[in-house]
Amino acid sequence: MDSEKYDAITFDVYGTLIDWEPTILSTLGRWIKAQKAKTDDAALLDSFDRARAHYQALSPARPYPSVLRSAFAYIADELDLDIDPEERARFGNSVGDWPPYPDSVAALGRLKERFVLGAFTNMDNGSFAKSHTLLGNCFEIVVTAERTGAYKPSLRHFVLGLTDLAERKIPPHKVLHVAQSLRADVRPANLIGQDVVWINREGRGLGHAGFGAELAVPMATFPTMEAFVSELLD
């Protein structure tokens, strides 16, 4: 990795910087256990992944809390469970409870000293603002699904974000994208010729499957943000 090649770094946020899978699994698992149903974490996460992709495709401008509530109902139907309205509402409002990975804030702080940082996220504005606070409000460029009227893997996030950066005199070839999702980020970056790094965190799998994921080709892979930043800057 050559830090001199880039003036800006953009990020997929959830899965890359925010550790959302454990909270999603614990919330859904508590509800399923209360109904004395059984499923393992891998199957539950797969159900959630299919559900969110379904509703994102069905209604590209839908706020993410609505996606979460709809995914809850989707999983209930798949497992033939009763919908608990309180659990469903809690799940829909859970974005602010998803914590950063332990290395995210420090890594972003180091990068911000050298690069313009951007976020390309499938979250709505209000929900992302909660996560942005947890990450130290480090992003100068923010592209949400609400702003674009689309969900990745649509290319609109990249087009709009790269346009924002061009207005700051930063051309696309000086921008590096960093992401955990093969489907929603690495493959779209490949399609527009954008340099992209894959953060493949151990034990995390959302975004590793689905249409296009098998064609994703990152230029480099790192197990953590800390490892990526050390390679780039040290």
Our answer to whether residue 49 is catalytic in this structure is no
Q: How many CA atoms lie less than 13 Å away from 109 in the CB half-sphere?
A: 8
CA 52 – CA 70 distance, rounded (Å) = 8
The structure tokens 């992944």 sit at 49
CA 187 – CA 163 distance, rounded (Å) = 19
CA 162 to each of CA 39, 146, 152, 213: distance values in angstroms, whole numbers, following the listed order: 42, 17, 15, 22
As a whole number of Å, the end-to-end CA separation of the chain is 10
Residue pair 224/180 in contact by the 8 Å Cβ criterion: no
Core vs surface per residue 4-14: b (16+ CB within 10 A) or e: eebbbbbbbbb
- Annotated active-site residue in 7, 12, 124, 185: 12
Active site residues: 12
